[in-house]
Structure 1
Amino acid sequence: MFKKKLIASISILAMSSAMVAPPAFAQASNDVIRIGVLTDMTGQFSHEAGEGSVAAVKMAVEDFGGKVLGKPIEVIFADHQNKPDIGAAKAREWYDKGIDMIAGLINSGVALSVTNVAKDKNKIAIINGSGSSKITNEGCTPVSIHYAYDTYALATGTTKYLIKEKNLDTWYFLTADYAFGHALEGDATASIKALGGTVVGSTRYPMDTADHSSFLLRAQASKAKVVAMAGSGQSFINAVKSSQEFGITRGGQTLAGLLVWDTDVHALGLKQAQGLIMTTAFYWDRTPETRAWSKRFQDRMKRMPHMGDAGDYSSTMHYLKAIQAAGTDETGAVMAKMKSTPINDFFATNGRIREDGRMVHDMYVYQVKTPAESKYAWDYLSIKETIPAAQAFRPLSESSCYLVKK
């Protein structure tokens, strides 16, 4: 009887200890933290992501010290070829093999596919390359973060500036025919109508098209005050070049790039890109801090970084700090720490990650300089407006994310 009571007492004590003991913190699964950069390494978005995304993530890991919780940090990468099925398959393979977080994820179709896999696997995905606002709206998940920018911020920033400041209230869209282009046109259209403007027409072109002649003729014939480019990548560059050949701006229409990367301006040259109005999350020459980090990136990549590169670095650093603070790489604990910790670095001031996964921070409206205005290499942009974080992104009151409590 005494033996049974002793065993029972020990069992109760063990159960009580288990109930009050802290979780097994200060440990990493598989004794290593693994980050996978899933990006476009060879396609039309490779100059906006690709090696730049990988370099930015590796810089963050190196600056962190190469270890977290005493365990090494590994970075691998793969090319998703801009195909959602390939991206999803690679994400599933990586998560099953112990990848803790997938970064990069340019191409909104790929990003949306991968975040669904992340949700199924209870693993983290951080998006910097893609823009579709669907990622934190109807496509939100509890394990994905949309960090650098989205189509809502880009579209509302540019449309508000051109309509309110320039009285350019009639618009025609040239839209890339995939998830990002559709979202960009949709968010811009909603903003234009809310501001009293009018969309007089729209043409959708294949993502990989090289000839925009027929599309530009329709835009020119529309007599819209603004021809808005709702696309990205090499196709966007080709469209801007063609618009100059067709005399879009010489004819009095204003060209608006609803997503313009610094590398796009560099590829176009100021003679062709001058005057473009754009909204962005980051410009290398904005502050002493942005300049210092950008020079380091340039030393490695032989070009200046854009908001995707800066976002990849900042979000990776935030992720690693969250692991350190949580004492574990367990998904729920890390996500909670990332959402509860403000982001203050060269990329963002008092940035924060909302319950829908959207990282909110200031955005900026710039105009591309003329060749005469540029004084040194990569001196491309002139600041026109700062959009406060509270105004830059879709308010939660308008969100359709199931994680948002209303």
Structure 2
Amino acid sequence: MTTNQEMQARREAAVARGAANITQFYAEKASNAEVWDVEGNRYIDFAGGIGVLNVGHLHPKVVAAVENQLHQLMHTCFHVMPYEPYVALAEKLNSITPGDHAKKTLLLNTGAEAVENAVKVARAATGRSAVIAFNGAFHGRTMMGMALTGKVAPYKVGFGPFPAEVYHAPYPNDYYGVSAQDSLAALHGLLKTDVDPTRVAAIIIEPVQGEGGFYQAPAEFMQAIRELCDEHGILMIVDEVQSGFARTGKMFAIEHTGVIPDLITMAKSLAGGMTLSALVGKAELMDAPGPGSVGSTYGGSPMACAAALATIEVIEEEGLLARSQAVGELITSRFLAMKENGLSCIGHIRAAGGMVACELFDTQGQPDAEKARQLVAKATASGLLLLSCGTYGNTIRVLVPLTASDALIEEGLDIMEQSLRSL
């Protein structure tokens, strides 16, 4: 039998150091919200492949769709010889994204690639070049993605210079003293002191920050951004890479605000574990770039498109929007109970549907990144895959598959609680 230790030795010899691992346990098989390593150890999955597995590992309907497509067509490159699954998925995404206007879709591979193309489309459509993003944002590891990302370590250290004409404003975060009004005032100030609004192509924002710590922008703030964009002819790009596909109790988190964006980026849970991302936007904007100027050799592969269509059906047929709310309420109630029963290190518990987080603090009330790191390690060693995040590294986030049973989620929360009490 192969051991985790043997696999780790092979990994250290063959794989680039920068492609870091949270654990040194090697996955061999998985089902729904459980994973087994090469030694047969079982783990409850609260990471979900970092938000990729809202419908769980190997959902039977998704697997069947991929298997069926595999026996028909694996690859031609959509740009060489197009195929129906790409068109069918574009039609579906155009229909389920917010807004009744005409839309068009571009399929790609990763969230970062969707973001890169959103900027390209925005620049082509407006004839402008500047882009505004927010502190704490994560938009990918490509050069433009890093420029837009509002967190230096570990994503930007040593990789500059970055693309020019990218500006950052504070993201609203009442807990750390930044109100929606503060953020909006800073954004208006930016347009007066740093960049002429007539040069700004787009403002890009996550309705709920992912890597930034699961902070949710208030509806009134998102509405103010929409009004600001309309006033100055700026496009509003909403990054739903982590918050989309039922994670927040809506198909897309922006639906909580009533705002209709111009462009939406999505990836992660779009295809139930297959590699796929998309950019969806107003038809006239999406058609601004000329033929051949956007695209991807592998983007929108037949199997990934089949998986995405099946994933959307699972979300709709299994009521995962309502299930996401129930999952969020379950986890939130347990976090509150832990805090009330002696775990005073837990603070600022928050949830948008099944996108749940809490922060850990030391005895002086300061963000405790070390305790978060220790908790992740202890929980993993005890059979629970757990993630930290946030600007201060002290946030514990939960992205358990929405298809997980209450009993399995409770079991995972028990492990988390026992691990935290043992630190």
Q: Same fold (TM over 0.5)?
A: no
Q: Which has the higher contact order (CA 8 A, sep 6+)?
A: 2
The structure with more radius of gyration? 1
Report which of the two has the higher share of helix: 1
TM-score normalised per structure 2: 0.28
TM-score normalised per structure 1: 0.29
